[in-house]
């Protein structure tokens, strides 16, 4: 069955770099795109970026200068790297699989359980 | 960015109908999707393409609308439906989510 699972450090110091891994199973990264979405505690969801199935990437311009998404298809993993972390980056980070019913109609049909990241010294 | 506006909360009696609205700041055509998020859990897809029921989702859930005005309905509401419901648009980058509507039982 389709599964996604995020993993990461939990605690990151301000100004440091966050590195997260999304490990997927039940589908191929060359067939489906995977997105990163974050959620501040008690707040709404914020789309960060996407790894397309063809290996291309796209980012929310709010993060462009400090966000990078990559993948290792042999390990079925998608990576998120974000630098210059601040306390406002504290939250839960999710990876989600994209499904589509046509151009511009992309939605997230499976989500990982999320990984909590705290930015604090 | 397209802003999606949702009412913050809704209280409904068990067995009654719950209607949640989502208004987009510009047309998203039918590129609107709905998610349920229970406390401490990840979001779950319920409706895609404005009105299509996701796999395994009970027919008590439905969605409608196009352009800028969308409605998500639960009928009848059950106790297990207590959650926050989010709309999400994919018409334009960046994808954006509504602020969420928290469903409470009267």
* A104 with B31: Cβ contact below 8 A: yes
At a CB cut-off of 8 Å and minimum separation 6, what does A64 contact?
A: none
Cβ within 8 Å of residue B104, ≥6 positions away: B9, B10, B11, B12, B82
The 10s digit of each residue's pLDDT in B59-85 is 999 999 999 999 999 999 999 999 999
Report CA-CA distances (Å) from A82 to A17, A22, A94, B41.
Answer: 6, 14, 14, 24
Residue A113 touches partner B, C-beta closer than 8 Å: yes
Give chain B positions within 8 Å (CB) of A47: 94-97
> Any residues with CB less than 8 A from the CB of A110 and at least 6 apart, and which?
A2, A3, A4, A96, A97, B45
pLDDT at A58 over 90: yes
Record: contact A109-B54, CB cut-off 8 A: yes
Half-sphere exposure of B47 (CA within 13 A, CB side): 27
The arithmetic mean of pLDDT across residues A97-111, rounded, is: 91
Closest by Cβ to A45, choosing from B43, B44, B90: B43
Cβ-nearest to A60 among B29, B86, B94:
B94
């Amino acid at each position: 069955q389709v599964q996604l699972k995020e993993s990461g450090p939990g605690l990151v110091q301000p100004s440091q770099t966050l590195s997260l891994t999304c490990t997927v199973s039940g589908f191929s990264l060359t067939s489906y795109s995977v997105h990163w979405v974050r959620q501040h505690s008690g707040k709404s969801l914020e789309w960060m970026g996407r790894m397309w199935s063809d290996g291309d990437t796209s980012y929310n311009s709010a993060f462009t200068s400090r966000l990078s998404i990559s993948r290792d298809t042999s390990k079925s993993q998608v990576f998120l790297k974000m630098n210059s972390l601040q306390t406002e980056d504290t939250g839960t980070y999710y990876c989600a699989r994209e499904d589509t019913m046509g151009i511009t109609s992309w939605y997230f049909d499976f989500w990982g359980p999320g990984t909590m990241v705290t930015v604090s010294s | 960015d397209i802003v999606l506006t949702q009412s913050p909360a809704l209280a409904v009696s068990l067995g009654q109908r719950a209607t949640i609205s989502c208004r987009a700041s510009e047309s998203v055509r039918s590129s609107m999707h709905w998610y349920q998020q229970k406390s401490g859990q990840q979001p779950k897809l319920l409706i895609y393409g404005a009105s299509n029921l996701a796999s395994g989702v009970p027919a008590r859930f439905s969605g409608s609308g196009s352009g800028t005005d969308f409605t998500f309905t639960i009928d009848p509401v059950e106790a297990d439906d207590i959650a926050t419901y989010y709309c999400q648009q994919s018409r334009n980058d960046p994808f954006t989510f509504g602020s969420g509507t928290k469903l409470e039982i009267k």
